[in-house]
Amino acid sequence: MSKIEQAYKLARQQYAEVGVNTDDVLKQAARIPISVQCWQGDDVSGFENPDGALTGGIAVTGNYPGKARTPDQLRADLDQAMALIPGKHRLNLHASYADSNSQGVERNELQPEHFQGWIDWAKGKGIGLDFNPTYFSHPKSADGFTLSHQDRGIRQFWIEHGICCRHIAAAMGKALENPCITNFWIPDGYKDTPIDRKGPRERLADSLDSIFADSIDPKLNQDAVECKLFGIGSESYVVGSHEFYLGYAVRNNKILCLDAGHFHPTESISDKISSILQWVGELLLHVSRGVRWDSDHVVTFTDELQAIMQEIVRGEFIDRVHIGLDFFDASINRVAAWVIGTRATSRALLQALLEPTELLRKLEADGDLTARLAMLEEIKNLPASAVWDYFCQTSEVPVGRAWLDEVQTYEKQVLSKR
Ligand SMILES: C[C@H](O)[C@H](O)[C@@H](O)C(=O)CO
Ligand SMILES: [Mn+2]
Which one, of 53, 33, 34, lies nearest residue 43 by Cα? 53
* Cβ neighbours around 320 below 10 Å, total: 15
pLDDT at 100: 87
DSSP 126-186: T--EEEE---SSSGGGTTS-STT-SSHHHHHHHHHHHHHHHHHHHHHHHHHTSPEEEEE--
Residue 116 CB burial class (10 angstroms; 0-12, 13-18, ≥19): middle
Q: Which helix (H) or strand (E) holds 33?
A: none
Q: Where are the domains of the chain?
A: 32-356
pLDDT at 156: 98
Which residues are part of the catalytic machinery? 185, 226, 228, 259, 262, 286, 294, 296, 326
Spell out the per-residue pLDDT of the chain, length 418, in tens: 899 999 999 999 999 999 999 999 999 999 999 999 999 999 999 999 999 999 999 999 999 999 999 999 999 999 999 999 999 999 999 999 999 899 999 999 999 999 999 999 999 999 999 999 999 999 999 999 999 999 999 999 999 999 999 999 999 999 999 999 999 999 999 999 999 999 999 999 999 999 999 999 999 999 999 999 999 999 999 999 999 999 999 999 999 999 999 999 899 999 999 999 999 999 999 999 999 999 999 999 999 999 999 999 999 999 999 999 999 999 999 999 999 999 999 999 999 999 999 999 999 999 999 999 999 999 999 999 999 999 999 999 999 999 999 999 999 999 999 9
Task: Indicate if ligand 1 lies below 6 Å from the C-beta of 347.
Answer: no
User: What is the number of the ligand 1 atom nearest to the C-alpha of 257?
Assistant: 7
Instruction: Please state the separation of Cα 163 from the chain's center in Å.
Output: 22
Instruction: Please state the separation of Cα 187 from the chain's center in Å.
Output: 17
Whether the model pTM is above 0.90: yes
Task: Indicate if ligand 1 lies below 6 Å from the C-beta of 39.
Answer: yes
Residue nearest to atom 8 of ligand 1 (CA): 185
Q: Write the single-letter amino acid at 238.
A: V
If one residue of 40, 43, 234, 286 were mutated to test the ligand 1 pocket, choosing by the most ligand atoms within 8 A of its CB, it would be 286
Helix intervals (H) in 53-151: 71-82, 116-125
The answer to whether 299 and 309 are in contact (CB under 8 A) is no
Task: Indicate if ligand 1 lies below 6 Å from the C-beta of 225.
Answer: no
The CATH code for residues 32-356 is 3.20.20.150
Task: Indicate if ligand 1 lies below 6 Å from the C-beta of 188.
Answer: no
Q: Write the single-letter amino acid at 162.
A: G
Task: Indicate if ligand 1 lies below 6 Å from the C-beta of 97.
Answer: no
ipTM greater than 0.90: yes
Helix intervals (H) in 259-401: 270-276, 303-314, 334-353, 357-365, 369-379, 384-394
Which one, of 84, 61, 73, lies nearest residue 417 by Cα? 73
If one residue of 58, 258, 262, 284 were mutated to test the ligand 1 pocket, choosing by the most ligand atoms within 8 A of its CB, it would be 58
Instruction: Please state the separation of Cα 412 from the chain's center in Å.
Output: 29
Residue 134 phi/psi, 5-degree rounding, is -110, 110
pLDDT at 197: 98
pLDDT at 81: 98
Per-residue buried b or exposed e for 64-94, using 16+ beta carbons within 10 Å of the residue's own CB: bebbbeebebbbbbbebbbebbbbbbbbbbb
